[in-house]
Each structure stands twice: as structure tokens, then as C-alpha cells.
Amino acid sequence: MQLKPQFELDKYISPTDIKDEAEQLIKQGNEAAMSSNLKTVIASHEKLKALKANEIRFSEPVLRQCENAVIFPHTINVIQGQAGVHKSRLAENICSAFLKQHNCNNELLGFNRLDFDATHTVVYVDTERNLTEQLPYALQSIQKNAGYDKAEHPSNFEYISLLQISRKERFAALNEYLNHIKKSTNSPLFIVLDVSTDCIEDFNKTDKSMELIDLMNMAINEHNVIFLCLIHENPKSDKARGHFGTELMNKASTVMQVGFEKDASQNDTDIIRVKYLKCRSTARHTPFYIKYSNEAKGLVLADSSEVSGVINNRKHKASNEDMVEFIEMYLGDGTILTRVELLDKLCKDFKASQRTIESRITEIMSSGIEIFNEQGAVCILSKETKDKTVSYKLIPNETI
């Protein structure tokens, strides 16, 4: 039987018209004539209507790093960085914090659950490490750091590798596995994708990228699920890889960038900075510093004197990269500073002359160095003159 079209395409249809038509169809017993999309839209309308009528209570964080709220329920989160900066080890510490037992005193880089009695099922999805040594050792480390023996099998710790699945089939395999996990447990899920770009066929293609983005969005809205996505940065850039990386930054709630601190000659040191590029639910946190310890065979918090020594020695060079970090701090929240105000702050920070600071600012503006605002958007430093007063502000790239 051919269904009669409900609306004519050549006239404007308001949301009220759609709702009224849907309600009329239901009253007439013709709910079957409604499309599944229309049913979904109407259902979401009713849910929003009920929520809007009540006081909105925002979710408490489920994980902190020291006193900073880092991960919240129903969110997508990101760890990004160049290859070899210990992104996976940072993610492992976060997993251990979710699994940590009451009698465990391990520091875990300051990560701690807000509700220690809450139980999340950690699901670790790996795509890079071999199955004979590297991945088993990482899984052992997660358990041991959480207070378990390596021979134990915690009921709330799941893990798989997609290494042996062809790239074309990985998204389908991941989707099938996550559906399986959701059916087998009632506890909230904390899902780590390491690395997330390897879970799809082509991270530069819009349709393939959006498949995974849409899957995560649907999961966090329909279920008690949190995602942590690890992603590589483009070489010599702060930008997460491919079209997938761009979309992931837009959808993420918390984005952490991991990278080695530089010395005065711009060589890597042993100190690793974890910088927050985006904190949707809070003000953007200040960075924290870690390092790899041969004694602990893992990451530990860096000593404050070590960090100060590296940063202070480098400040005397007033490098463009260091200058960008302070510009982000002063202008990242949308603040506009006059030339005098910005130069005064940066001269004090770097103990440098106005000429040196202005030279660095000019280089930053002409070099295309990526600068991030508090929303995690890539910006440029803009210089404007109004009524003979020169001011600086950050402008997101998409508005240019």
C-alpha cells in the first residue's frame, strides 16, 4: 500500500506543524504512518520538555587530577600528542584510577575517583601494540597500579585488540563489540580507544570519520558511557590528525595535550607537560608535569624544582612557543588587551625588553603558529587599531 505524503514539499513546515501532525496521527491510530525519525524527534521533544520544566543539576565529575575536575559522565575526552610522548601510559593511569581498590595507595599521577564506591567497567580497545608482549604488559600495569595481582581478572576490566582486524572491518567490529559489552553489564562504561584513528577505515574521509563520531555521540546520550580517545598529532603541529581529529576536538569535553618540555636550545627534556587544550565543564586548568621513571617503570609526577628549572632556563630565550602559552593564558577566554597591557605582562613574565617581546609577537602572527582558546578552537593572534589604540585578541580560524 502506498502511503499518502503527510506534507507538501513546496511550503514551509514549522516544528509546531510537525508536532501537531504527529499527535493527530497518533490520535487517529495511524502511528505506523510516522517515520522512525519523526518518532525519535517527537520523543526527544517530550524528554526535553520534561527536563526544561525542572531545575537543571549539572553532573559532578567522575574523575579528578588532584583538585581539578577532568572527566564527567556522558562525555567524549581526548589525549593527543606526537608519537612517543607516553599518551598510552597516561591513559593507563586513568584506567587504574577507575579500577583502584580501597587498599591501594598508588599515586596514579594524582588521578582519583570522586565517588570511590562507584564502579565503572573499563573497556580498553587497543590497535597498535603486539599481542605477545606489549599489550599484555600494559594490561598488567593497569591492574597492578590499581592494586590487583597480575593473575587476577577483575570483573569490571575488559580489553580487546583490533590489530588483527582489517582496517575496513574495524569500525563494524568495534560497534559489534561495544553492543555486546553494553548487554553484558549494568555498570557505567569507561571506554578507551587507543588509538582512535585506527578504529576507522580512513581518518581523512568525512563519512568514515563521522561514523565513529556519531557512534560515540549516540552512546553517551543513550547510555551511561564515557569515551577517552587517544590520537596522534600531525608532525610538527598541535593539530590532531585528519578530519577525524578536527571533528573530535569539536565534540570533546576535555582535551589533554601531552608533550616533552623543551630546554633553552629547544631540545626535548625528560619532563612531560600535560596541557589542557579544552575544558568544557570548567575553566581551563593549568598544566601538570610528569616524567618516566625507570625505578617505577612508569610515569610519576615531576618534582616542582625540576619543572621550574627547565621553564626558567627556557624563559630567558623568550621562544615563540613559550610566548604562545602565555598569550593563550591572557587572551584564551576572549579577553582583549591593549598593546601596552599585553607587552607589560609578557615583559614581566620573560624578563625581556619590549623590543624582544614585540619581535616575538610579530613572528607569531606571521608564522601561523597554532594558538588555542579555552574552547579548544585553533585561533590566530589578531592585532587591531581603534581610536589610535592598538589591541590584541584571539580569533578562531573558522571566522576568518
Say what the pLDDT of residue 92 is. Answer: 98
Task: Quote the strand ranges of the chain, DSSP E.
Answer: 63-65, 68-71, 76-81, 111-113, 121-126, 157-161, 189-194, 225-232, 254-262, 268-279, 288-293, 298-301, 337-338, 371-372, 378-386, 389-396
The model's pTM is 0.77
Instruction: Identify whether the C-beta of residue 384 lies closer than 8 Å to the C-beta of residue 393.
Output: yes
What proportion of the chain, given as a percentage, has pLDDT over 70?
A: 90
Instruction: Identify whether the C-beta of residue 238 lies closer than 8 Å to the C-beta of residue 81.
Output: no
Say what the pLDDT of residue 45 is. Answer: 87
Task: Quote the strand ranges of 127-188, DSSP E.
Answer: 157-161
**Using 50, 70 and 90 to split pLDDT, how confident is the model at 400?**
very low
Does residue 274 surpass a pLDDT of 90? Answer: yes
Arithmetic mean of pLDDT over the chain? 88
How many CA atoms, within 13 angstroms, populate the side-chain half-sphere of residue 111?
Answer: 23
Q: Mark out the alpha helices in 284-319 (DSSP H runs).
A: 304-315
State how far the Cα of 231 lies from the Cα of 198, in Å rounded to an integer.
9
**Using 50, 70 and 90 to split pLDDT, how confident is the model at 238?**
confident
Q: Rounded mean pLDDT of 14-26?
A: 60
* Residue 183 backbone zone (phi > 0: left; psi -120 to 50: alpha; other: beta): alpha
| C-alpha closest to that of 112 among 122, 126, 100 | 100
Say what the pLDDT of residue 8 is. Answer: 42
Does residue 312 surpass a pLDDT of 60? Answer: yes
DSSP state of 196: G
**Using 50, 70 and 90 to split pLDDT, how confident is the model at 310?**
confident
Task: Write the pLDDT tens digit of every residue in 21-37.
Answer: 666 655 555 556 678 88
Does residue 77 surpass a pLDDT of 50? Answer: yes
Helix (H, G, I), strand (E, B) or coil at 389: strand
Say what the pLDDT of residue 350 is. Answer: 85
Residue 370 or 240, more confident = 240
Question: Grid cell 581603534 — which residue?
Answer: 386
CA distances for 100 relative to 69, 105, 118, 145, 372, angstroms: 18, 9, 11, 8, 34
CATH architecture designation of domain 318-399:
Orthogonal Bundle (1.10)
Say what the pLDDT of residue 58 is. Answer: 79
Q: Rounded mean pLDDT of 134-154?
A: 96
Say what the pLDDT of residue 321 is. Answer: 80
Say what the pLDDT of residue 263 is. Answer: 81
Residue 316 or 250, more confident = 250
Instruction: Identify whether the C-beta of residue 128 lies closer than 8 Å to the C-beta of residue 193.
Output: no
374 CB burial (10 A radius; 0-12, 13-18, 19+): buried
What proportion of the chain, given as a percentage, has pLDDT over 90?
A: 60
| C-alpha closest to that of 76 among 212, 184, 243 | 212
Determine the straight-line distance between the first and last CA of the chain, rounded to whole angstroms.
Answer: 52
Does residue 9 surpass a pLDDT of 50? Answer: no
Say what the pLDDT of residue 89 is. Answer: 97
Q: Rounded mean pLDDT of 260-279?
A: 89
346 alpha-carbon distance from chain centroid: 29
Does residue 43 surpass a pLDDT of 90? Answer: no
State how far the Cα of 77 lies from the Cα of 225, in Å rounded to an integer.
11
Residue 2 or 230, more confident = 230
Does residue 15 surpass a pLDDT of 60? Answer: no
Instruction: Identify whether the C-beta of residue 161 lies closer than 8 Å to the C-beta of residue 126.
Output: yes
For the domain 63-312, what is the CATH code?
3.40.50.300
Please state which of the ranges 84-93, 106-115, 256-265, 286-295 shows the lowest mean pLDDT: 256-265
**Residue range(s) of every CATH 1.10.10.10 domain in the chain:** 318-399
365 alpha-carbon distance from chain centroid: 27
Bridge-based pairing of strands 288-293 and 298-301 is antiparallel
Does residue 122 surpass a pLDDT of 70? Answer: yes
Does residue 354 surpass a pLDDT of 50? Answer: yes
**Residue range(s) of every CATH 3.40.50.300 domain in the chain:** 63-312
